[in-house]
Each structure stands twice: as structure tokens, then as C-alpha cells.
Amino acid sequence: MPNGDIDLKLPSMRVAYEQGSLTEADLAATWHEQLQRWLDQAVAQGLPDANAMVLATASGDGFPSSRTVLAKGLDERGVVFFTNYASTKSHDLLATRFASATFPWYGLQRQVTVRGTVEKVRSAETAEYWAQRPRGSQLGAWASPQSIVVNGRGTLESALANVERQFADAETIPVPPHWGGWRIQPQTVEFWQGRADRMHDRLRFRDTHGGWKVERLGP
């Protein structure tokens, strides 16, 4: 496609944000109750992968990286996702101990961004979630050399076949030693609701270490 076509189309791509509003009075008492409320509404509206969030990390030398992961835990302690501890994201988290994650609910013209420190979840919590995963996903976690360069698709399929043979007679598959959960412990949680004329509502819970303060941010 000629560059001219791209230049003409991108500036004209525009959506009017007119579905809702967000006031301080609308908020739940806590950030996690408000996030759960919006998550429930996203599910009720049938949004695909409503628990998907864009996770942003940075390496020790500041090189940024982002990818989509699935939130699998939410309570007053933070937001949890699970991954390979040898992956790029885990190396970043080990190096900096900080992360940001955004839930992009385009269909509701909303997003929520969680920013804070991270910690590995307890092994018992990882095991509890692992037991709920489909067997195929468990086998894939054993087989995948996540973030490592491989020679081709055949390498991955061969690795999966080997793992399938390894656990063929196993009723339950153990948690891999290189796999587990991370919890983002929020320092700020921002709730964004699109509004007309780009005058969006942005309300942020901020941890003051003596409680949570709600602040309105300019759009």
C-alpha cells in the first residue's frame, strides 16, 4: 500500500467517546472493588478476553517491552498473572521490580492502568491456579522455551510431543519449576472513561502509605 494512502487514513481515524462518564461519586470504596466492577461489566457486555491486560516492563538498562497477558487474580493485594520465570518479562521484573498493566476495554471506551511494584506469588497460590488449567496448557508450559530463539515451528512441536510422552501415564501434571505467578502491587490505579471532545474522565487511586487518595487528572 502506498505511503500516501496510510498518511491519509490514519489522521482521519477517529471515534467519538460518548458512552459514559465517571465521577468521584461513581467510584467504589477501593480500587480493587472498582476494578472488579468494571471487569464484571466488560464480561457482561461480552467483550472478548475481558481479563486481558497489556503488561509493560523494562530491562535493567531501561529498554521497554510490552505484551498482552491475562489477569488471573484480583484482590486488595494486587493483580496476578502467571508466566514462565525464564521469560523476558520475568527477567525484566527481577531486574527492576516494577510493572504497569493496562486493561483496554475499547468496547466500553474505558481503560484501567495499574502501576506498582511486583512480587512472586506463593507456591501454594501458583499450584492452586495450575490445577485449574487445561491439560494442554500445562503441557505447553513444560514444553515452551519462552522468549528463546528456536529453529522453527517443528522444534516446538517436537518439544510438546516429548512432554506428552513424558507425562502420558500421569494423572496430574506437576507445576514446572520455572513457572509461576507475579503480583503487581499497585501504587496507583487509574480509571479512564472516554468523553466527548477528548475531555476524558481520569480518576486515580494513589497509595499515600497512610491510605488511598482519589485524584482527578487532566485528560
Query: Dihedrals φ, ψ of 97, to 5°?
Result: 65, 25
Query: Of the residues 67, 122, 198, 216, which is catalytic?
Result: 198
C-alpha distances in Å from residue 73, one per residue of 82, 145, 218: 9, 24, 30
Count Cβ neighbours within 10 Å for each residue of 79-110 and write b for 16 or more, e otherwise.
Answer: bbbbbbbebbbbbbbeeeebbbbbbbbeebbb
Distance between CA 98 and CA 47 in Å, rounded? 28
Cell (9 digits) for 23: 465521577
122 catalytic? Reply is no
Cell (9 digits) for 180: 509461576
> Burial of 1 by CB count in 10 Å (0-12 exposed, 13-18 middle, 19+ buried)?
exposed
Secondary structure letter of residue 167 according to DSSP: T
Query: Dihedrals φ, ψ of 163, to 5°?
Result: -70, -40
Catalytic residue positions?
A: 198
